[in-house]
Amino acid sequence: MGPGVAGRGHVVFAAVAVLTMGAVPPSPAASSPGPGPGTVVGTLRPVAPPPGNAGPLGRGTAVQGRLLAAADGVETARASRPVAPGVRLTSYDRLESGKRLRLDMLSVDLGAGAARADHLSSGRVSERRKVSDLASRHDPGPGRRTVAAVNADFFDIRETGAPQGPGIKEGQLVNSPAAGANQAVGIGPGTAGRLLRLFFEGSVTLPGGPRALDAYNAANVPPGGIGAYTAGWGTADRALTVDRATPVAEAAVRGGRVVSVTERPGSGAIADGTTVLVGREAGAAELAALRPGDPVTLEYRTRTDSGTLPRTAVGGRELLVVDGEAQVHEGRGNNTAAPRTAVGFSRDGSMMQLMTVDGRQAASAGATLTKLGLLMKEAGAYNALNLDGGGSSTLVALAPGSDRLRVENSPSDGRERAVPNGIALTAPDGSGRLKGFWVEPRMRADTAPAVGPLRGGRPERVFPGLSRRLTAAGHDETYGPANGAPHWRTVRPTVGRVDSHGVFTARSTGTTEVRAERGSVGGGTHLTVLHPLVGIQATTRRVVLANAMASGTFGIVGLDAHSASAPVEPQDVSLEYDRSLFSVTDDGQGSFTVKSLTGSGAGRITARTRGVSTTLDVSVGLRERPAAGFGDATSWTLVALREARLGYGHPRRTHVYRTRPVLLYP
């Protein structure tokens, strides 16, 4: 029991220190008009989640009841766009019983022949990189480009970094699976995909005769076995593959002859043309008996549980959908709500679904395996497999008219995790001739300023008198980049107008399409002009900069009298602050970046637009300041308060307070 914890009727008090962080006094109420407590905006409440499926279950319906509960929920938002011919990205939000989910899914038409799925890696089994890096470096083949990718196999995260399941690239074995990790997803040798099990079989012939070869560039050598490692393994320490077993031995073979034998597996790169044999226990004894010059030959192959060997394969783990039936994982391992990645196929294997579910975030709690199976079945999968999830879950894709892959989901680590492999999607190069424009707000919906626990705002909305910056990316027939300057126009000028730079200025409430055109080609997006602005809020009430090198961000969100919200463009906001203390600049994505100029101090930023304002505090540096020593402990009262919910998904607990209110200032 630590200090400050009460137990067995005794109360222990400890001195309290407050990190004041250069704090400023609480902000006074804004003098400009805004939504007050008595207005519609002031009484805005979060939407409560729908009730769970609590209907009575008859005898023999326990499994059905669990599936119904897992399937409970409503879709609250959806966006879809093309990535390449035969590849489409759909992103959507769901409101479940007691939680929210954010999903991204690539639908891939393998049967049409344009889109193709490849094994994705750096070319070194044990080398880990971010999915975006792997995809940007992937060789798609002549006349093709990489258009999207997801992470794939579970891997030896704490030691070698190598995948646990099998890997096949262009029909050639990349690595063998760990014991029991045979489940895989395969594509080809034609265009169709399927789920299957892959097995490794091999033999090594030593001077004393043949014996089993148990692993090939694998994360682990099984007990008593021998594994083969080539230049394709990478630089990971091969001593990690034997699980601290003794004895161990390593023999290097080149040109069919032993060139060296050591008592400990080595590390570092293996030369091209050299195969290193690593043995443990009985396998180590056989390798230790070798001498330089001894002949050694290897033979190995990969076989499937059914059908021909696929052109491409990566490992996975739990089956989510089998022959059209979502699988129930209740009571089994790995079934907690978590970030997920999954792959599925239609009944004939011609359509592939690649899905990520965000998790461990306010905007998305994550999915259980049972839930993931239901989502994959709903998405059209007749068979589906769980891939590595958690912080590994990553989906990247091109936007129309762009040649830069971008992360579409929200990795739970706050950034991409380095992984050993994935699934890459490629498509044919286009002509480069302009065939259309992809028009959208400069702000991405998933990162636009918003108030509340959910990620992303509503940049397709704007207030009268304010603006929205739009972009128009020219694309060819494959949605690849194409040059061409657009001419802008609005379909309903009474709702708003757009200038030659794509800046839309709203005039009156309504909806209009804004189009970018050049000759006979064009594209457009719809914008909704809300009711007049009555108040604004900052996305945070305080920006805290730890030191002079740190930076912080905030955005401005507006509200109308009906509580409808929309992000406000930085160009429409005037800022008042002490310019000798810090700088505030437009970050180019719809928000502001704050940087310290002095390395310490505190101040306040006032943001104004259209006659309304809001404030936020900025502090730089951390300073510890004692607030109370509890010397007068007898005058303090220990009170346990019940949980008070300030908003959906934001519980706050207060454990100790003083009966006399105290307001602290620096």
In the structure, what pLDDT confidence band is assigned to residue 594 with cuts at 50, 70 and 90? very high
Let me know if residue 454 belongs to a domain.
yes
CATH classification at residue 485: 2.60.40.1080
The confidence score (pLDDT) of residue 98 equals 76
Residues with Cβ within 8 Å of 519's Cβ and at least 6 positions away in sequence, in order, are: none
Specify whether 336 is located in the same domain as 410: yes
- Kindly list the distances between the CA atom of residue 24 and the CA atoms of 545, 597, 603, in Å, as whole numbers in the listed order: 14, 18, 7
- Kindly list the distances between the CA atom of residue 14 and the CA atoms of 357, 420, 631, 633, 643, in Å, as whole numbers in the listed order: 43, 48, 10, 10, 24
Residue 522 has pLDDT above 70, yes or no: yes
Select from 304, 334, 349 the last residue of a domain: 304
The confidence score (pLDDT) of residue 489 equals 98
Specify whether 297 is located in the same domain as 354: no
492, 512, 532, 571: CA torsion to nearest 10 = -100
Specify whether 324 is located in the same domain as 388: yes
Let me know if residue 209 belongs to a domain.
yes
Question: In terms of residue numbers, what domain contains 464?
Answer: 436-532
Within a 13 Å sphere around the CA of 533, how many CA atoms are in the beta-carbon half? 27
Angle (deg, nearest 10), helices 62-71 and 369-378? 70
> pLDDT (tens digit, 9 = 90+) per residue, 288-316?
999 999 999 999 999 999 889 999 999 99
In angstroms, the CA 170 to CA 118 distance is 8
Residue 649 has pLDDT above 70, yes or no: no
The confidence score (pLDDT) of residue 6 equals 35
Residue 448 has pLDDT above 90, yes or no: yes
Specify whether 86 is located in the same domain as 124: yes
Average confidence (pLDDT) over 63-91:
77
- The answer to whether the CB of 328 falls within 8 A of the CB of 66 is yes
The rounded mean pLDDT for the chain is 86
The confidence score (pLDDT) of residue 97 equals 81
Out of 311-325, 391-405, 568-582, 639-653, least confident range: 639-653
In angstroms, the CA 483 to CA 470 distance is 17
Specify whether 293 is located in the same domain as 327: no
Which DSSP helix (H) or strand (E) runs through 262? strand 257-262
Average confidence (pLDDT) over 200-218:
98
In angstroms, the CA 341 to CA 154 distance is 11
> pLDDT (tens digit, 9 = 90+) per residue, 17-54?
333 333 333 333 333 333 333 322 222 222 322 333 22
Measured in residues, the chain has a length of 666
Residues paired with 655 in a beta bridge: none
491, 494, 498, 500: CA torsion to nearest 10 = 80
13, 19, 25, 27: CA torsion to nearest 10 = -110
Taking the CA atoms of 574, 580, 582 and 588 in sequence, report the sign of the dihedral they define: positive
In angstroms, the CA 9 to CA 15 distance is 20
> pLDDT (tens digit, 9 = 90+) per residue, 359-387?
999 889 999 999 999 999 999 999 999 99
In angstroms, the CA 601 to CA 545 distance is 10
Q: What is the pTM of this model?
A: 0.82
Closest Cα to residue 228, out of 197, 259, 203?
A: 203
At 324, the amino acid letter reads G
Specify whether 473 is located in the same domain as 376: no
Let me know if residue 640 belongs to a domain.
no
Let me know if residue 497 belongs to a domain.
yes
In the structure, what pLDDT confidence band is assigned to residue 637 with cuts at 50, 70 and 90? low
> pLDDT (tens digit, 9 = 90+) per residue, 399-436?
999 999 999 999 999 999 999 999 999 999 999 999 99
Select from 427, 459, 486 the last residue of a domain: 427
- The answer to whether the CB of 236 falls within 8 A of the CB of 317 is no
Residue 5 has pLDDT above 80, yes or no: no
Specify whether 278 is located in the same domain as 327: no
Let me know if residue 660 belongs to a domain.
no
The confidence score (pLDDT) of residue 77 equals 84
In angstroms, the CA 24 to CA 234 distance is 54
Select from 481, 512, 532 the last residue of a domain: 532
> pLDDT (tens digit, 9 = 90+) per residue, 151-175?
999 999 999 999 999 999 999 999 9
- Kindly list the distances between the CA atom of residue 201 and the CA atoms of 177, 230, 546, 592, in Å, as whole numbers in the listed order: 11, 17, 56, 58
**Domains in the chain, number:** 4
Per-residue tokens: 12: 């222990």
Closest Cα to residue 92, out of 379, 415, 411?
A: 379
Residue 482 has pLDDT above 90, yes or no: yes
- The answer to whether the CB of 558 falls within 8 A of the CB of 632 is no
Residue 65 has pLDDT above 90, yes or no: no
CATH classification at residue 565: 2.60.40.10
Specify whether 575 is located in the same domain as 506: no
Specify whether 258 is located in the same domain as 228: yes
Residues with Cβ within 8 Å of 399's Cβ and at least 6 positions away in sequence, in order, are: 81, 83, 406, 438, 473
- Look up residue 155 and give its DSSP letter: B
CATH classification at residue 216: 2.60.120
Per-residue tokens: 288: 């230790």
Let me know if residue 23 belongs to a domain.
no
Residues paired with 505 in a beta bridge: 467, 497
In angstroms, the CA 142 to CA 174 distance is 22
The confidence score (pLDDT) of residue 74 equals 87
Let me know if residue 120 belongs to a domain.
yes
Residue 545 has pLDDT above 50, yes or no: yes
Specify whether 417 is located in the same domain as 446: no
Neighbours of 2 (CB within 10 A): 6
Let me know if residue 5 belongs to a domain.
no
